[in-house]
Chain A
Amino acid sequence: MSALKLKKGSTSHSAYNLRPTFSDVVEKHTLAVLVENEPGVLARVIGLFSGRGYNIESLTVAEVDHQGHLSRITIVTTGTPQVIEQIKAQLGRIVSVHEVHDLTVEGPSVERELAMFKVSGKGDKRVEALRLADIFRANVVDSTLETFVFEITGAPEKIDAFADLMRPLGLTEVARTGVAALPRGD
């Protein structure tokens, strides 16, 4: 199973491993896409996903290199190994795309997401929400007599778990940024 050596996006674990096994198992992958920071580039990426029927679980985008004019798009997507390989190859041929990395297969990586939760309640529920927030290391960033706004950062699973706990305690609004991710080490 040798990966092809390609300039764009190729690493020792190339994003273009061209010999996938055709399997039906749907996997979740986190892709980091470095793109030219120019008008319409996000539309190109999103248009590719909608036009070819791929899934987007979450997507974040921001400029990461002002001098180099580069933005980083982090996409969490799902699909069979064949579809994931297609997504990477299709992303790679967008002219504005510089690099495509599949953080799920290119070795260990860290994923973080920021979320804000508004919880409204009185009495015991309010106290319990505050106690659980402390356990989850969520910060209170705003408070009224009847509401808290918590800020929590962590892996998506941790945020899901926190949401599950807050729901019976009066969760009224959620805002999540989507996943940002980086590979570990060099």
Chain B
Amino acid sequence: MTRQMTGAKMVVQALIDQGVDTVFGYPGGAVLPIYDEVFQQNSIKHILVRHEQGAVHAAEGYARATGKPGVCLVTSGPGATNAVTGLTDALMDSIPIIVLTGQVPTFMIGSDAFQEADTVGITRPCTKHNWLVKETDKLSEVMHEAFHVATSGRPGPVLIDIPKDVQFATGSYHAPKPSTSHYQPQVKGEMEAITELVAALETAKRPIFYTGGGVINSGPGASQLLRELVEATGFPITSTLMGLGCYPASGDKWLGMLGMHGLYEANMAMHDCDLMINIGARFDDRITGRIDAFSPKSKKAHIDIDPSSINKVIKADIPIVGDVGHVLEDILKVWKSRGRKTNSEAVAKWWRQIEEWKQVDCLKFKQEGKVIKPQYALARLEALTKDHDRYICTEVGQHQMWAAQYLGFEDPNRWMTSGGLGTMGYGFPASIGVQMGHPDALVINVAGEASWLMNMQELGTAMQFNLPVKQFILNNERLGMVRQWQELLHGERYSHSWSESLPDFVKLAEAFGAKGIICSDPADLDDAIMEMINHDGPVLFDCLVEKHENCFPMIPSGKAHNEMLLGEAETQGVIDAKGSVLV
């Protein structure tokens, strides 16, 4: 069915037809016709952010918490360039978002017009795909294709650049129809390889599931299948930062997060395993540590929907290209049909070894004296919020790693953090997006004071739309992770890694009309957290914590999984010259 309408109306119509209910955006000259259409309808709610970067992170948060693509609408030039960090963040973490940018009219493109930027050129390397639409007649098809590309295969951000004259002109609108696009990534894994993996499962003596964001991206069904497979085989499971929640933290097969700041038992098990089953993770450098010493004795199976992930870093012995959900379904089917076999005796022995590693109790800490330890703050936050309908976002740095270590995630889509790009300033706008997707849930952004300040302007957004997001700021007046690396690597020369002239966060909150809470005494912490939870509105929680706490365990740069540091005593001269060039 085709209808005649303006390009601007097409944009709104396509969003409605794609089931979009929320758009995060910021108006400007080159998108005024679209904003005029947004004004004249009630199907889509527009959230006015305070900076375009905030719009993209909010859309990311919305997408990760709801499983639906997030949508942004920003203007040309600076609006588009401000979106670049968010686009790169979404590309690295495979988050489906659609960014619509205004552009100067087609006849002015290339003339250095006011607020002109080569948006498709600038965003080509930081989107999965992008389009400059020069004809109104093609706009609706591109809009629908954009949703298809963003959500198919390995998800990612896409961008549509729409010149102002295309928005004003009238053309034919086409309703969405089943995609005829040549872009149809393979979702079913090759049966031959799946059977090979099942055979390996049956005989493995020291197996481990190493899961990642691909499980979350594959949908809640994939997490269910994963849980079924883990319970049925009895194998231990660890996960990357991106995959937390795909298997419940309370599950008895759970070893905790792995990697640079992962748990001792998880990293040791990765190092010593004889069968590694990578499900939707990508052997990121935060995970592998030194490549040539990475899990030297194991056979490695790798399930990924993106063929380029396979053999990129670590050679896969059993590569399987496909969607995690589809592949897990086939694995279970084949494994059951072959008689549900495992080498249970050897696996029981493996578990005894793992239990020994668990005894190290690598996350232990002592809360002593009158200063709050960041670990204690998160342990209390966990205890007081875990029974709520809770969503957690984070910024980037030490607090992010502590949150991953001390908070437990029972379900997928409950944990929003910038994994690949490591974007400080991600968490606050992301929490706004999450709260839009789940208006009645408890949405907490665990932040550091420095990260939080990077997108603090979004407090205005939270207030305007009455989004009761809780900003739990672990304030050590330091760029904690930078400080930690300077201590370990740069002779304790703390170059520009402290935050001077910090605002009074309580007054800052009040200046926006929000609630501010400050807490510095461990004895007051529980009450203060309860006050935060019970306040109906945005809260800025300034939690003053120990200033020089380091984040452990830690695999130093250039070291292997079994060379973890567990505490302060082990940190002298651990990173050699070769390791020091790594980030």
Contacts and interface: CB of A to CB of B under 8 A. Distances in A.
Contacts of A96: 129
B183 to A, nearest CB: 5
B508 to A, nearest CB: 40
A43 interface: yes
A7 interface: yes
A165 interface: no
Contact of A18 (B120, B125, B311): B311
Interface in A1-42: 2, 4-7, 16, 18-20, 22, 36, 39-40
A178 interface: no
Contacts of B183: 95
Contacts of A95: 128-129, 149, 183
Contacts of B198: none
A85 interface: yes
Given A16-B307, A19-B319, A85-B311, A6 B186 contact: yes
Nearest to A87: B308
Contact of B308 (A2, A4, A39, A89): A89
B319 A4 contact: yes
B310 interface: yes
A109 interface: no
Given A4-B321, A39-B132, A86-B312, A93 B306 contact: yes
Task: State the main secondary structure of chain A at its contact with B.
Answer: loop
B124 A92 contact: no
Interface string A42-81: 0110010001000000000000000000000000000000
Contact of A7 (B184, B306, B310, B319): B184
Interface string A90-125: 101101101000000000000000000000000000
A147 interface: no
Contacts of B190: 4-5
A167 to B, nearest CB: 40
Interface residues of B, number: 28
Contacts of A20: 311, 315
B316 interface: yes
Contacts of B306: 89, 93
B121 interface: yes
B191 to A, nearest CB: 10
Nearest to B318: A19
Contacts of B312: 86, 89
Contacts of A4: 190, 193, 307, 319-321
Nearest to A19: B319
Interface string B413-454: 000000000000000000000000000000000000000000
A117 B121 CA distance: 36
A89 B186 contact: no
B307 A89 contact: yes
Nearest to B305: A93
B461 to A, nearest CB: 32
Contacts of B307: 4, 6, 16, 18, 89, 92-93
Contacts of B132: 39-40
B559 to A, nearest CB: 21
Given A4-B193, A40-B124, A95-B129, A82 B311 contact: yes
Interface in B103-121: 120-121
A72 to B, nearest CB: 15
Contacts of A36: 182
A44 B125 CA distance: 8
Interface string B122-133: 001100110010
Interface residues of A, number: 27
A83 to B, nearest CB: 10
Interface in B140-154: 149, 153-154
A86 B311 CA distance: 8
Contacts of A43: 121, 124
A103 B311 CA distance: 21
Given A6-B186, A40-B120, A44-B124, A92 B310 contact: no
B192 interface: yes
Nearest to B149: A95
Contacts of A5: 190
A6 B193 CA distance: 13
A51 B124 CA distance: 11
B129 A18 contact: no
Q: Max chain B CB contacts within 10 Å: which of A43, A47, A93? A: A93
Most buried by A among B124, B307, B312: B307
A60 to B, nearest CB: 21
Interface-centre pick from A16, A47, A96, A98 (highest chain B CB count, 10 A): A16
A109 B125 CA distance: 32
A92 B308 contact: yes
Given A18-B310, A18-B319, A89-B308, A47 B125 contact: yes
Interface in B283-319: 306-308, 310-312, 315-316, 319
Contacts of A82: 311
Contacts of A51: 125
B310 A89 contact: yes
Interface string B444-484: 00000000000000000000000000000000000000000
B168 to A, nearest CB: 22
A16 to B, nearest CB: 5
B319 A93 contact: no
A44 B308 CA distance: 16
Contacts of A89: 306-308, 310, 312
A51 B186 CA distance: 26
Contacts of B120: 40
A18 B321 contact: yes
A98 B182 contact: yes
B149 A90 contact: no
A101 to B, nearest CB: 15
B53 to A, nearest CB: 22
A30 B266 CA distance: 43
A98 B308 CA distance: 16
B379 to A, nearest CB: 42
Interface of A: 2, 4-7, 16, 18-20, 22, 36, 39-40, 43-44, 47, 51, 82, 85-86, 89-90, 92-93, 95-96, 98
Among all A-B residue pairs, the 5 with the closest Cβ atoms? A89-B308, A95-B129, A18-B319, A89-B307, A90-B308
Interface of B: 120-121, 124-125, 128-129, 132, 149, 153-154, 182-184, 186, 190, 192-193, 306-308, 310-312, 315-316, 319-321
28 contacts: A4-B190, A4-B319, A4-B321, A5-B190, A6-B307, A6-B321, A16-B321, A18-B310, A18-B311, A18-B316, A18-B321, A19-B316, A19-B319, A39-B132, A40-B120, A40-B121, A40-B132, A43-B121, A51-B125, A86-B308, A89-B307, A90-B308, A92-B308, A93-B307, A95-B128, A95-B129, A95-B149, A96-B129
